[in-house]
């Protein structure tokens, strides 16, 4: 979990300050169904790239190979009704993902970084039936993470 927290902390530098600047959008793209932890890093990230919902290049690649992607400009992603700051993904030997400098976290992993209170995120994730790890990173910065073995 420390590795997840490390990537999320790097990715979210300045995120709290940006909350006030979020555009009000009429349509959100929900990721709830994909965060059931029954998928793969490739199956989670590929449609987001194909539909231009996320930037094509990761904004950060952690040593454990987790790639963090920003939502594309003008796109509002949600996970369990929380604003998504970044989506995370990795799949071994998949050219869609950059390799980090260390040991990969798993053969496949994926998730989302959301803004919200830990307890509320945990309740909504469990209510939806997801087995995802809900990890408090900093106040109101939460990682929802699926580690596929």
Domain boundaries, position 93: 2-12+28-148
Domain count, the chain: 1
CA–centroid distance for 112 within its chain: 2
Q: Is residue 80 part of a domain?
A: yes
Q: Is residue 19 part of a domain?
A: no
Q: Is residue 125 part of a domain?
A: yes
Within 8 A by CB and 6+ apart from 104, the residues are 64, 65, 90, 92
59 has pLDDT over 70: yes
Q: Is residue 123 part of a domain?
A: yes
Give the pLDDT confidence score for residue 11 in this predicted structure.
53
Provide Rg for the chain, Cα atoms. Answer: 14
pTM tops 0.75, yes or no: yes
Q: Is residue 23 part of a domain?
A: no
Straight-line distance from the first to the last Cα atom of the chain, in angstroms, rounded to the nearest whole number:
15
Give the pLDDT confidence score for residue 2 in this predicted structure.
64
Q: Is residue 136 part of a domain?
A: yes
Give the pLDDT confidence score for residue 67 in this predicted structure.
98
Q: Is residue 18 part of a domain?
A: no
Would you say 100 and 61 are in contact if contact means Cβ atoms under 8 Å apart? yes
Tell me the per-residue pLDDT of 86-141, one tens digit each, with 9 for 90 and over: 999 999 999 999 999 999 999 999 999 999 999 999 999 999 999 999 999 999 99
Give the pLDDT confidence score for residue 7 in this predicted structure.
57
Distance CA 42, CA 11 (A): 20
Tell me the per-residue pLDDT of 10-32, one tens digit each, with 9 for 90 and over: 555 544 434 444 444 447 899 99
């Amino acid at each position: 979990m420390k590795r997840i927290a490390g990537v999320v902390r790097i990715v979210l530098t300045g995120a709290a300050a940006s909350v006030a600047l979020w555009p009000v959008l009429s349509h959100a793209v929900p990721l709830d169904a994909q965060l059931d932890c029954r998928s793969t890093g490739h199956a989670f990230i590929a449609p987001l790239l194909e539909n231009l919902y996320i930037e094509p290049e990761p904004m950060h690649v952690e040593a454990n190979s987790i790639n963090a992607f920003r939502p594309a400009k003008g796109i509002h992603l949600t996970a369990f009704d929380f604003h998504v700051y970044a989506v995370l993904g990795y799949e071994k030997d998949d050219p869609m993902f950059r390799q980090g400098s260390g040991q990969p976290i798993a053969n496949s992993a994926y998730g989302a970084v959301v803004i919200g209170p830990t307890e509320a995120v945990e309740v909504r994730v469990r209510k939806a039936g997801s087995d995802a790890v809900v990890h408090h990173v900093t106040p109101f910065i939460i990682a929802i993470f699926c580690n596929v073995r």
